[in-house]
Amino acid sequence: MPLKIRINYSPNFNQKKRLRKNIRFIIIHYTGMKSEKAAIDRLTNIQSEVSSHYFIGKNGNITLLVPELYVAWHAGKSKWKGQSLLNKNSIGIEITNPGHRFGYKNFTYKQINSTIILIRYLLNKYRISKISNFLTTFWIILIAILKVSFRLALIGGIIKIFITWCFIFCCSACVITIFTRSNISF
For the segment 120-146, what is each residue's pLDDT rounded down to a tens digit? 898 889 888 655 433 322 332 333 333
Pairing of the two strands 130-134 and 62-64: unpaired
* Total tally of structural domains belonging to the chain: 1
Residue 1, C-beta contacts closer than 8 angstroms, at least 6 positions apart: 113, 117
The active-site residue, picked from 36, 49, 68, 94, is 94
> Does residue 186 surpass a pLDDT of 70?
no
Q: Is residue 85 situated within a structural domain? A: yes
pLDDT greater at residue 14 or residue 181: 14
Q: At 70, which amino acid appears? A: Y
Give me the pLDDT at residue 5, please.
Answer: 96
* Per-residue burial over 52-71, b = 16 or more CB atoms within 10 Å of its CB, e = otherwise: bbbbbbeebbbbbbbebeeb
Give me the pLDDT at residue 9, please.
Answer: 98
- Rounded to whole angstroms, the Cα distance separating 168 from 184 reads 28
- Rounded to whole angstroms, the Cα distance separating 31 from 94 reads 6
* Contact present, 174 and 135 (Cβ < 8 Å): yes
**CATH number (domain holding residue 90):** 3.40.80.10
Q: Is residue 185 situated within a structural domain? A: no
Annotation marks residue 49 as catalytic: no
* Model pTM score: 0.74
Q: Is residue 186 situated within a structural domain? A: no
What is the span of the domain harbouring residue 63? 5-180
* Per-residue burial over 87-110, b = 16 or more CB atoms within 10 Å of its CB, e = otherwise: bbbbbbbbbbbbbeeeeeeebbee
E strand spans, the chain:
5-7, 25-30, 54-56, 62-64, 79-80, 83-84, 90-95, 130-134, 177-180
Give me the pLDDT at residue 162, please.
Answer: 53
- Rounded to whole angstroms, the Cα distance separating 67 from 61 reads 17
pLDDT digits over 16-54, tens only?
999 999 888 888 888 999 999 999 999 999 999 999 999
